[in-house]
Amino acid sequence: MNLNLDVQFNRTIEQLILDELRRCTPLNEPISDATLVHKASKNRLLGAVGKAAELPSFPNIRSLADMSFVRGSDLGVLSRDKFVPLCSSGEQILVAVANPWDYGPDEYCAAHFPDHELLKIVTLSSEISAIIEAASLTIGPSRAELEAVEVDEFFTEIADFPVTHQHEEPIAQLVAGMVSNAIKVHASDIHIRTEKSSCHYCYRIDGDLGGRIEVPFKLKDRIDAFLLNLMRLSPEERSKRVGLSGRFNANYYGRSIAIRYERHRTYRGYHVTMRLLDKAHLEGRLGLGTLVFDPETLFELEKAMAIPSGIIVISGPTGSGKSTTVNAMLRQLNRPEDNILTLENPVEDEIAGVTHCDLRDSSEFKPMIASFMRSDPDVIFMGEVRDKESAELAIEAAITGHKVLTTIHTPSASLIIERFQQLGTERWKIAQTIKAACAQRLVKLLCTACRESHSLISAHEIKLFQLPEEWARHPVHKRHKEGCAECHWRGYAGRTALLEILPISPAIGDALSKGQITPYELELQIRRNTGLLSLRDNGLKLLSEGRTDLEALRKALDMTVMN
């Protein structure tokens, strides 16, 4: 098939899906194809694909999978071509595909199951990935093999580390299993710690550190050297620098996953933190997945993004999902006619069409921003405002007509304004440039398979968290302490972002610049006039819907203070 026919074929398929999507979507007014797709849920899109391909669609296929049958397949091929043979019955094979117009699954099944009839269903790509991950068996070296390792050996460099392969070298297999399992359970970080006579690692999942996994203490230096070798850093660097930073890539069933490495020495050895930048879970979209904000909050955020110049600031502690939200905003702003530049330390998520710049040390910040200003930008993303200089540069960029996105560390949205004032920014500049002050947190969600109905909230909790009296009659849910297989025995399954926003209108900005209103009074006035939800309001909404519990909320938010 030549190129012109390929393009024509793809356009025909796209039009078929759009036609089916319009048939099954209730519309009050005409909307564009792009808006139609953006507003459609994953399940509705899946249904449209199935209708267009004349195949049944199933959003959840895990109950159909015979895992022993799946494990007999080449998981690398399944992951690459996004299909999975689920089970066999008699002379028939049931296969789930993400792309019904790809004939890769047909060719694979014809070669491996020549005497069977192929029955296809359409499902989500994430469902196929979940089954392949569940079918994978990561087998690490035994304790005896690790104890037998000679500590004075060394090994050759590894450029792109394949974590799903079996390695002959026990240390390589230990690290491969450590990273592979972290990816499989959707951990955000791996921590390796050395203490007086022990060495262990653990995973951070949904914001919580899990149990320790011990390794022989004598291997601590071998593990340390192996990781440095992955990043082509000499082990001698450990004694030269207080902290070491680096990156390497893990190859997980053909999928490249960047891992950010940070090491610092401790009293008894070292502490390593590896942040997993798995794009399969990072690539968020505003209004979808973990970024399904309150409709009015999302509207105000998109309204601020529509302003051609000014600053949108998102605050929150480390690990609150600020970068994911900003990257989702950049994706929405990313148009061919706009020049978007980002300055990050480090770059966590590359977006096609966006120019990402990596800040290697603090001395590069000011010259890099000066260079940005001469590079004809439309949108600038500054990774973080952390001092007077970065605050002034962000303000200067906005005053000169650029749209600026940035992050900052403050407990609430209104304190963003106070923080800029503390950094020496004049009130009129803050009022003129900041278009939206946002605060974000990540809250754990209850596993829907094992969550428990909870008795009514106690009088003590109502008083402690200053809840209205009607909560005394409101049934809630809580996590199952032992969890289940669906949530990997944690009781929680994933997290969602909570966002509060304070849009700074011209009238509010004028009052702020004249000193007629404090940032806290500004917050109260905006909430009173607009009805926008605070972080606490959003959290209580999740609690009311049975999607989280008080324990998760009190860990992410200060629930003792009313907004």
DSSP-assigned letters across all residues of 274-317 = EEEE-HHHH---TTSGGG---HHHHHHHHHHHTSSSEEEEEE--
- Residue 497 has a CB neighbour count (10 Å cut-off) of 22
pLDDT at 155 over 60: no
pLDDT of residue 137: 67
pLDDT of residue 1: 41
**Domain spanning 283-441+498-535: CATH superfamily:** P-loop containing nucleotide triphosphate hydrolases (3.40.50.300)
pLDDT at 518 over 70: yes
Beta strands in 104-231 (DSSP E): 117-122, 160-162, 189-194, 199-205, 208-209, 213-215
- Residue 266 has a CB neighbour count (10 Å cut-off) of 11
pLDDT of residue 3: 43
Under a CB-based contact definition with an 8 Å cutoff, are residues 262 and 318 in contact?
no
pLDDT-above-70 percentage for the chain: 93
Please state, in angstroms and as integers, the Cα–Cα distance from residue 213 to each residue in 185, 190, 196, 217, 276, following that order.
Answer: 15, 11, 16, 12, 18
Residue in the structure block whose two tokens are 């390589």: 172
pLDDT tens sequence across 436-476: 999 999 999 999 999 988 777 888 888 888 888 888 888 88
As given in the structure block, the two tokens for residue 41 are 């849920």
Under a CB-based contact definition with an 8 Å cutoff, are residues 322 and 316 in contact?
yes
Angle, alpha carbons 125-126-131 (nearest 5°): 100
Query: What does the DSSP 8-state code read for residue 432?
Result: H
Question: In which band, very low, low, confident or very high, does the pLDDT at 274 lie, cut at 50, 70 and 90?
Answer: very high
- Better-predicted residue by pLDDT, 561 or 525: 525
Query: What does the DSSP 8-state code read for residue 548?
Result: S
Q: What is the mean pLDDT of residues 272-291?
A: 77
Which range is least confidently modeled, 4-8, 421-425, 442-446, 496-500? Answer: 4-8
Strands 189-194, 199-205: parallel, antiparallel or unpaired by DSSP?
Answer: antiparallel
pLDDT of residue 50: 87
Under a CB-based contact definition with an 8 Å cutoff, are residues 513 and 544 in contact?
no
The span from the CA of 493 to the CA of 483, in Å, is: 10
Please state, in angstroms and as integers, the Cα–Cα distance from residue 36 to each residue in 30, 32, 39, 52, 54, following that order.
Answer: 9, 6, 5, 16, 21
The span from the CA of 201 to the CA of 214, in Å, is: 7
Q: What is the mean pLDDT of residues 105-119?
A: 90
The span from the CA of 245 to the CA of 148, in Å, is: 30
- Residue 371 has a CB neighbour count (10 Å cut-off) of 13
Torsion of Cα atoms, 14 then 51 then 121 then 89, to 10°: -150
Angle, alpha carbons 364-370-374 (nearest 5°): 135
Task: Give the three-class secondary structure for 488.
Answer: coil
Question: In which band, very low, low, confident or very high, does the pLDDT at 538 lie, cut at 50, 70 and 90?
Answer: very high
pLDDT of residue 279: 66
pLDDT of residue 405: 95
- Residue 239 has a CB neighbour count (10 Å cut-off) of 7
Angle, alpha carbons 388-394-400 (nearest 5°): 130
Q: Where are the domains of the chain?
A: 1-54, 143-280, 283-441+498-535
The amino acid present at 52, given as its one-letter code, is A
- Exposure string over 39-56, b if 16+ CB within 10 A, otherwise e: ebeeebbbbbbbbbbeee
pLDDT at 141 over 80: no
- Residue 353 has a CB neighbour count (10 Å cut-off) of 12
**CATH number corresponding to 143-280:** 3.30.450.90
pLDDT of residue 136: 80
Residue in the structure block whose two tokens are 């080449």: 74
- The number of C-alpha atoms within 13 Å of 356 and in the hemisphere containing its C-beta is 16
Q: What is the CA radius of gyration of the chain?
A: 26
Task: Give the three-class secondary structure for 483.
Answer: coil
Which range is least confidently modeled, 30-34, 99-103, 449-453? Answer: 30-34
The span from the CA of 332 to the CA of 315, in Å, is: 20
Which range is least confidently modeled, 196-200, 233-237, 279-283? Answer: 279-283
pLDDT at 9 over 60: no
pLDDT tens sequence across 360-380: 766 787 788 778 888 888 999
pLDDT tens sequence across 243-267: 788 889 899 988 888 898 999 888 8
Which range is least confidently modeled, 24-38, 64-78, 519-533, 539-553? Answer: 24-38
As given in the structure block, the two tokens for residue 88 are 């066999």
The span from the CA of 132 to the CA of 546, in Å, is: 30
pLDDT of residue 390: 86
pLDDT at 153 over 70: no
Task: Give the three-class secondary structure for 179.
Answer: helix
Q: What is the mean pLDDT of residues 520-544?
A: 91
- Better-predicted residue by pLDDT, 348 or 85: 85
- Better-predicted residue by pLDDT, 279 or 136: 136
Query: What does the DSSP 8-state code read for residue 383?
Result: S
As given in the structure block, the two tokens for residue 56 are 């049944």
The span from the CA of 421 to the CA of 418, in Å, is: 5
Q: What is the mean pLDDT of residues 86-108?
A: 90
pLDDT of residue 469: 84
- Residue 22: enclosing H or E segment and its boundaries? helix 3-24
The span from the CA of 164 to the CA of 298, in Å, is: 40
Q: What is the mean pLDDT of residues 417-430?
A: 90
